[in-house]
Structure 1
Amino acid sequence: MIIVLHEQSEDIAQGVDRSKEEEQGAGDQGMMFGYATNETNNYLPAPISFSHNLLSHFSNLRKSKQLDFLRPDSKAQVSVEYENGKPINIHSIVLSHQTDDIPLEKTRPIMIEECKKALRYTNMVSDDTAFYINPTGRFIIGGPHGDAGSYRKKNNCGHLRRCG
């Protein structure tokens, strides 16, 4: 049996490596799933359907090399506002997409514009829609290598803390 365990990538850890006094968010998104509904043509709830379309759009951009800085690992979350049980507005978009080692200041505006293009068909992206593109600051190391699950910092007694 071969066991390979290494530190979690700094890209993910920087999202949660903060002092107790500092506000912090998640370093990674979780998986979401839905139920059958008639709010979209594919019978998925709007948020998951929009997320799938967004990721498909970015996959096509990567494979066609239109955005040659994109790498394979990515995840998205689209938060939708509802009124009377109907989706009316995209409140926020989180897109974490692995890239080459390029400053986020260069890639973020391009990725926001591509998010808007990908979801234009919904007519729900507005000036108030919040975009969180690689919100930990960078996403260079992806796939299983980046997500070992071991926290890289040691606690007071010198032991590695587990990722929460």
Structure 2
Amino acid sequence: MYLFTSEVVSPGHPDKCADIIADSIVDEILKQDPNGRVAAEVFIAGKHVVIGGEVNAKIDFTHDDYRHIVKGALSEIGYNDNPHFTRAQCLHPQDLQVDVFLNQQSPDINQGVDQEGGEIGAGDQGIMFGFASCETKNFMPAAITYARALCDHVYAYAKSHPNELGVDIKTQVSVDYGTKSNFEECKPQSIHTIVVSAPCVESMSIERVRDLIGNLIDSAGLPKELYDKSKTIIYINPTGRYVNH
């Protein structure tokens, strides 16, 4: 075996919630100032949301404005006061405490962005790059592609069935290439292991959850030449109870 593993989290995972809130802040600022620039970080812990960083824009959002953006983003994700999960089990936007620590961008940093000749520099922000792979139609490696497909499929079901599943979902896929040579030549041989963790309402048994998610795995559109249910190792909520999230 030669295994490669990738993990994906749904929009309901705290890390993704933070990313989506940050993106929503950028969107709202750009709506009012197309030339605005935002370097905002978002931290979520329990019922607390902390927004910090720098803004260079011709607007002045209030604390209530930012709180409204946060609540709107979380509601769109699926945290919309779902009555099937208690306030102790799930995030409820009405209970949030939002702290905002956004400062005006330093002119010293800004001069690294606005450059003579109209070019825009990166300032103090890093630039990331990657490469394409021929393993899938979307030119991404197989493991991350199929982990994302599974996560999106289970998340879509959770959003449309809030009486069964919560939206803080994590998926993991291990692809077996057989040999290092196959890995280097982008030739996956099979999906070796699948892990899916999704919160459920307290009334659902672990057996029911595993049966439900097992069916979702089968209907996620994984390639038949790689996914064989009789051979793939599948773990669904492997630690057992997953209600509080």
Query: Normalising by structure 2, what TM-score?
Result: 0.42
Aligned CA-pair RMSD: 2.4
Q: Separation in 2 of the partners of 1:103 and 1:56?
A: 23
* 1:74 matched to 2:169: yes
Equivalent position to 1:58, from 154, 157, 160 = 154
Q: Separation in 2 of the partners of 1:35 and 1:138?
A: 39
Q: Which amino acid aligns with 2:210?
A: R
Offset, 1:64: 2.4
Q: After superposition, where does 1:14-163 map in structure 2 within 5 Å? A: 36-65=132-161, 68-83=163-178, 84-85=182-183, 86-101=187-202, 102-126=204-228, 127-142=230-245
SS at 2:169 equivalent: strand
Point out where structure 1 has 5 or more consecutive residues left out of the alignment: 10-33, 143-164
Q: Which amino acid aligns with 1:117?
A: S
Offset, 1:124: 1.6
After superposition, the C-alpha distances for 1:114-137 in whole angstroms (9 at most, x for unaligned) are: 112114435322111111001111
Is the 2:146–2:222 Cα contact (8 Å) retained in structure 1? no
Q: Separation in 2 of the partners of 1:122 and 1:48?
A: 17
Q: Separation in 2 of the partners of 1:139 and 1:124?
A: 29
Greater relative contact order, per chain length (Cα 8 Å cut-off, separation 6+): 1
Which structure has the larger Rg? Answer: 2
Offset, 1:57: 0.6
SS at 1:99 equivalent: coil
Is the 2:213–2:236 Cα contact (8 Å) retained in structure 1? yes
Q: Which amino acid aligns with 1:139?
A: Y
Q: Which amino acid aligns with 2:214?
A: I
Q: Separation in 1 of the partners of 2:241 and 2:138?
A: 33
Q: Separation in 1 of the partners of 2:156 and 2:224?
A: 19
After superposition, the C-alpha distances for 1:30-51 in whole angstroms (9 at most, x for unaligned) are: xxxx853111122211011101
Name the one with the larger helix percent. Answer: 2
Q: Provide closer, same or farther for how the CA distance between residues 39 and 70 of structure 1 changes in structure 2, counting only shifts above 3 A.
A: same
Query: Normalising by structure 1, what TM-score?
Result: 0.61
Q: Separation in 1 of the partners of 2:238 and 2:169?
A: 13
Q: Provide closer, same or farther for how the CA distance between residues 35 and 132 of structure 1 changes in structure 2, counting only shifts above 3 A.
A: farther
Is the 1:79–1:93 Cα contact (8 Å) retained in structure 2? yes
Point out where structure 2 has 5 or more consecutive residues left out of the alignment: 1-44, 47-87, 89-129
Q: Separation in 1 of the partners of 2:235 and 2:139?
A: 26
**Percent of paired sites with the same residue:** 35
Offset, 1:91: 0.7
Is the 1:72–1:98 Cα contact (8 Å) retained in structure 2? yes
After superposition, the C-alpha distances for 1:55-86 in whole angstroms (9 at most, x for unaligned) are: 11111112222x74110101110111114231
SS at 1:139 equivalent: coil
